[in-house]
Amino acid sequence: MSRALILLVYDEIVGSRLLFDRLPLQAFDEVLVVDGGSTDGSVEFYQSKGLKVVGQEVHGRGEAFRVGVRNTVSSQLVFYSPDGNEDPEDILKLCRCLDEGADIAIASRFMKKSRNEEDSQLLRWRAWVNMAFTAIANVLFRKGRYITDTINGFRAVRRGVFEALNLNECGFPIEYQMSIRAMKVGFNIVEIPTIEGDRLGGESKCRSFPVGMGHLKVLWGEIKASLKKWLP
Ligand SMILES: Nc1nc2c(ncn2[C@@H]2O[C@H](COP(=O)(O)OP(=O)(O)OP(=O)(O)O)[C@@H](O)[C@H]2O)c(=O)[nH]1
Ligand SMILES: [Mg+2]
C-alpha cells in the first residue's frame, strides 16, 4: 500500500523548523507540501529540504486538501499540519489504522487519553462547540460507532474514499464535511487518541466565528441533501 504525507502549510515557519526532524518521511512514498501563500520563508524551508511544494490557485484549507490529493498518487493519504497541534508520533499510527481496514482514521482530541488545546482552561468554548457539532453529526448521520472528533483535520484517508466523498468545501469545515459524508455512507471511521499540543509560533488562520458559521452551513447543507433523498 503506497503512502503520501501531505503537509498543509500557511506561514508555519516556526512549527515547520521545530517539527521537521520528527516527521517519519522515510515511511512515505510521497511527501508533498501544499502552501496556502506563505510569506514567512516556509516555502523556501521545505524546498531546501528537497520537498515538492505546490501552491493554491483557490484560497482555503479545504482547497488545500484537494490540491494535495490531486498532486499525489498514493493510495493512503495522511494530512498533517505542522503548527504544533499535531503529534508527529501519531502519523504512523493513523497509517496502521488504514492498513488494518479503516477507510478514515482520525486523531481524536476528545477520547479517553486525549488532550485538546483548551483542556487547561476553565472555559473551553472552542472544545465545547466542537463537541456540540460532533454530537449533532452523530445523532443525525451515524451508522456505526460514535465518532468523538468529527472536526480534527489530523487524519488519514484512503484515496478512493476521499474521491468518492466529492468534497466541495473550500475552508476549514472540509473535515466536518468529510466526516459527515463518510458517516452517511457508512465508511469505516476509526479514531486514535491524540495529545493536542499548543501552537508553536505564528498565527492561527482559524477565526472562530466565521469558521463556526462555516460548520453550520456545512451541517445544514448535509441535512438538506439527506432530506432531498428521503422525501418524495
Ligand atoms: N495550504 C494551506 N494551509 C492552511 C490554510 N489555512 C490554514 N492552513 C494550515 O492548516 C493548519 C491549521 O490551521 P490553524 O490556523 O492552525 O487552525 P487551528 O489549528 O484550528 O488553530 P490553532 O488552534 O490556532 O492552531 C496550519 O498548519 C495552517 O498553516 C490554507 O488556506 N492553505
Ligand atoms: Mg492549529
What confidence score (pLDDT) does residue 131 get? 97
Residue of 12, 204, 205 best suited for mutating to test ligand 1, as the one with most atoms within 8 Å of CB? 205
Residues with CB under 5 A from ligand 2 (ion): 83, 85
In percent, how much of the chain has pLDDT > 70? 100
How distant, in Å, are the alpha carbons of 28, 64, 117, 125 from that of 180?
28, 19, 23, 22
Beta strands in the chain (DSSP E): 3-9, 30-35, 52-54, 76-80, 104-108, 155-158, 189-193
pLDDT digits (tens, 9 = 90+) for 148-184: 999 999 999 999 999 999 999 999 999 999 999 999 9
The end-to-end CA distance of the chain, in Å, is 42
- Name the residue with the closest Cα to ligand 1, atom 30: 61
What confidence score (pLDDT) does residue 120 get? 84
- pLDDT higher than threshold 80 for residue 230: no
- Name the residue with the closest Cα to ligand 1, atom 2: 36
Distance CA 4, CA 217 (A): 30
Query: Which is the closest atom of ligand 1 to the Cα of 12?
Result: 29
Fold of 3-230: Spore Coat Polysaccharide Biosynthesis Protein SpsA; Chain A (3.90.550)
Helix (H) or strand (E) holding 109: none
Model's pTM, two decimal places? 0.97
Q: What is the mean pLDDT of the chain?
A: 96
pLDDT digits (tens, 9 = 90+) for 183-221: 999 999 999 999 999 999 999 999 999 999 999 999 999
What confidence score (pLDDT) does residue 123 get? 83
Measured from CB, residues less than 6 Å from any atom of ligand 1 are 8-10, 12, 34-36, 59-61, 64, 81-83, 85, 117, 199, 204-206
- pLDDT higher than threshold 80 for residue 231: no
- Name the residue with the closest Cα to ligand 1, atom 26: 81
